[in-house]
Amino acid sequence: MKSMLKTCLTAGASLMLMGSPAVMAQDAPAKWDPNYETPRLADGTPDFSGVWDQSSMTGIDRPSQFKDLVLSVEQAQAMADAQAARMEAANSPSDPNAGAPEAGGSPGGYNAFYIDAGDGLGVVDGEYRTSWIVDPADGQLPYSEAGRAEMEEAVALAWDNYDNPENRSAAERCTVGYGSTGIPPMLNVLYNNHIQFFQSPDGETISILVEMNHNARMIRMNAEHRKDNMDLWMGDSIGHWDGDTLVVETTNFHPDVNQRSSQAQRFYLQPDTVVVERFTRVADDTLFYEFSVTDPDLFTQTWKAEMPIKLAEGPIYEYACHEGNHSLPGILAGARRKEAEAAQASAEASSGG
């Protein structure tokens, strides 16, 4: 029952790529076996069954303190140690009165119990990665000047408009998971990073169930995009097999999911942005997830990213989002209260009272 309070966006954020304690020696992760034999279903297509975990300290774009895509074993271990120390400190006993309103404190957000953002950097073919983005080489989202201005305007509107429920974000209204978890491209966030594939026996449909907000994306295999340009929450996904790789192209996104944000990343897409994903099973416990994003109205080039997705144990449990039916009325009521107080203060100032 983990409600998505914005106050969680600070603790454990910014990919946790920060200072470090003493480094413990460890071996470099192994490269993927190029001769790996993919398990297959009865129809011969690769088997992606099971629950998969996207949690990682790595995020979509590269933090400013890192110039390179790849870090050494020692650097990666130092950051993992630092994250472990922060989590241990966050789990220590705290003053129950520190955040009480009468004490002038903030009630805060999540405690560490709710956070499951990964305990190490993502490993791609034996390399520790500082960002998922691999192209451009600097690991940054390649906004054009006009694209960045459009993104910033959309972000300001999404965060500051409390006029009605429809102005609040789709994630806040519990229609989709926040941070682009289920909508292509699928990214890791603070918690609830599990996904599960369901492949129909006839090979016509593949569904991806996403833990965050229990979204399910339907991929129509060997099909064409709908001609009515219907904007769907998850976008219109069509797929095909390229050898042992599942290739999925998605566009026609709902306008309410243009702005994608979480504690570690924020970016902006449009309904006609095209996202191409590639899923390849490279080991019994690893899916290699690649994606590209094309939108000449927003970006100076198509940008590309790579991410490992690890096999998890156990099922996906229900994620119950309550912003839509509990917190949202409070959010709007708070805005009305703030407006009323401002109007009263203005009236008193005008009357000289």
pLDDT at 25 over 70: no
Q: What is the C-alpha to C-alpha distance for residues 319 and 335, in angstroms, rounded to an integer?
A: 27
Structure tokens at 223: 């099909």
Q: What is the pLDDT of residue 109?
A: 65
Nearest to 125 by CA among 311, 307, 248: 307
In a domain, 201, yes or no: yes
pLDDT band at 215 (very low <50, low <70, confident <90, very high): confident
Residue 328 lies in a domain: no
**What is the amino acid identity at position 94?**
S
Token code pair at residue 286: 């690893």
pLDDT band at residue 22, thresholds of 50, 70 and 90? Answer: very low
Higher-confidence residue of 118 and 58: namely 58
Mean pLDDT is lowest, of 120-129, 256-265, 292-301, for 256-265
Whether the pLDDT of residue 19 is over 70: the answer is: no
User: What rounded mean pLDDT belongs to the chain?
Assistant: 85
Whether pLDDT at 6 is above 50: no
Q: Rounded distance, CA 12 to CA 166, Å?
A: 30
**103-107, 199-203, 232-236, 329-333: least confidently modelled range:** 103-107
Nearest to 169 by CA among 60, 230, 258, 275: 258
pTM, whole model, 2 decimals? Answer: 0.85
What is the pLDDT confidence band of residue 214, given thresholds at 50, 70 and 90? Answer: confident
* Structural contact between residues 55 and 188, judged by C-beta atoms closer than 8 angstroms: yes
- With respect to residue 335, please indicate whether it lies within any of the assigned structural domains: no
Q: Domain residues for 234?
A: 49-311
- The reported pLDDT for the residue numbered 256 is 86
Say what the pLDDT of residue 264 is. Answer: 62
Confidence (pLDDT) at 129: 96
**Domain-located, residue 94:** yes
Residue 108 lies in a domain: yes
Query: How many domains are there within the chain?
Result: 1
In a domain, 211, yes or no: yes
Residue 11: per-residue pLDDT: 32
Looking at mean pLDDT, say which of 159-168, 225-234, 288-297, 317-326 comes out highest. 288-297
pLDDT digits (tens, 9 = 90+) for 70-118: 999 999 999 999 988 888 888 777 776 766 656 555 666 667 777 888 8
- Supply the pLDDT for residue 318: 85
Residue 320: per-residue pLDDT:
82
More confident residue, 316 or 90: 316
Residue 215 in tokens:
């979204």
Predicted local confidence at residue 14, as pLDDT: 42
Measure the CA–CA gap between 339 and 353, rounded to whole angstroms: 19
Name the percent of the chain lying above pLDDT 70.
87
pLDDT at 209: 94
What's the mean pLDDT in 209-226? 92
Who has greater pLDDT, 169 or 352? 169
pLDDT for res 224: 94
Cis peptide before 185 (omega within 30 of 0): yes
- Give the CA distances from residue 115 to residues 8, 12, 72, 123, 310, in Å, rounded to whole numbers and listed in that order: 9, 8, 26, 21, 18
The model's pLDDT over 293-303, given as tens digits with 9 standing for 90+, comes to: 999 999 999 99
Alpha carbon distance 3, 213 (integer Å): 10
Beta-carbon contacts of residue 221 (< 8 Å; ≥ 6 apart): 203, 204, 205, 206, 238, 239, 240, 241
C-alpha 303/C-alpha 190 separation (Å) is: 24
**Which whole number is the average pLDDT over 43-62?**
94
- Provide the H-helix boundaries in the chain: 73-90, 145-160, 328-351
Q: Is the dihedral of CA 106, 112, 113, 118 positive or negative?
A: positive
Q: How confident is the model at residue 57 (pLDDT cuts 50, 70, 90)?
A: very high
Residue 242 is assigned to a structural domain of this protein: yes
User: Among 20-24, 74-78, 262-266, 347-351, which is the least confidently predicted range?
Assistant: 20-24
**Does residue 128 sit within a domain?**
yes
